[in-house]
């Protein structure tokens, strides 16, 4: 991407291009949401009612090791500069401390701040390359955050399946 057209001006300076995407991407969600024709009813009407409560359970080093070992070595490196290849190759050495961090996060209900930051890259979709609306953001989060996401996903998915909770639209 060499340039963008914004308000009749052509932007070519890399810092200005970056700033334009930084200003544009956070506003996409609310704009798209305002275009969706739906009622403002409660989300609860879409869910099956259950008296079962969901609670994240601690994980174990074997689970963390398994997830680390399944990482795609070609995944992009996040802001923490830890490559998936590196993490996967030393999974046996780091699974216990990563498990401890995940379990502390679960027990305290606090997601580590360093795992919240992502490198966002604009990816061209189609149409005029000079139109900022023709790009979508790809966020690259730290590899270890992906492992934690998978732990949460698997527990939540198992809970929904076990209690036969379905989303009905």
Average pLDDT, the chain: 88
pTM metric for this prediction: 0.77
Tokens of residue 62, six digits: 């074997």
Burial 88-110 (b: 16+ CB within 10 A, else e): beebeebbeebbebbbebbeeee
Rounded to whole angstroms, how far apart are CA atoms 70 and 75? 12
Task: Specify whether the CB–CB gap between 115 and 141 falls below 8 A.
Answer: yes
Please give the backbone phi and psi of residue 96, each rounded to the nearest 5 degrees, phi first.
Answer: -70, -50
Task: Specify whether the CB–CB gap between 47 and 165 falls below 8 A.
Answer: yes
Facing residues of 119 across strands?
140
Alpha-helical runs (H) found in the chain: 14-35, 61-69, 84-89, 91-108, 143-162
Structure confidence by residue, pLDDT tens digits, 101-139:
999 999 999 999 999 999 888 999 999 999 988 999 999
164: left (phi over 0), alpha (psi -120 to 50) or beta: left
Q: Is the pLDDT of residue 141 over 90?
A: yes
């Amino acid at each position: 991407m060499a340039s963008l057209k914004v308000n009749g001006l052509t932007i070519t300076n890399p810092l200005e291009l970056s700033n334009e995407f930084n200003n544009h991407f956070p506003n996409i969600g609310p704009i798209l949401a305002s275009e969706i024709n739906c009622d403002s009813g409660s989300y609860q009407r879409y869910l099956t009612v259950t008296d079962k409560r969901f609670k994240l359970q601690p994980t174990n080093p074997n689970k963390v090791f398994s997830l680390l070992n399944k990482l795609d070595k070609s995944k992009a490196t996040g802001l923490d500069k830890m490559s998936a290849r590196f993490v996967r190759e030393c999974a046996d050495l780091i699974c216990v401390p990563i498990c401890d961090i995940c379990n502390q996060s679960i027990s305290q209900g606090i997601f580590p701040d360093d795992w919240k930051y992502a490198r966002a890259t604009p990816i061209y979709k189609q149409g005029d390359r000079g139109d900022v609306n023709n790009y979508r953001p790809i966020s690259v989060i730290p590899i270890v955050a992906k492992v934690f996401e998978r732990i949460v996903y698997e527990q939540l998915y198992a809970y929904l399946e076990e209690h036969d909770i379905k989303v009905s639209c």
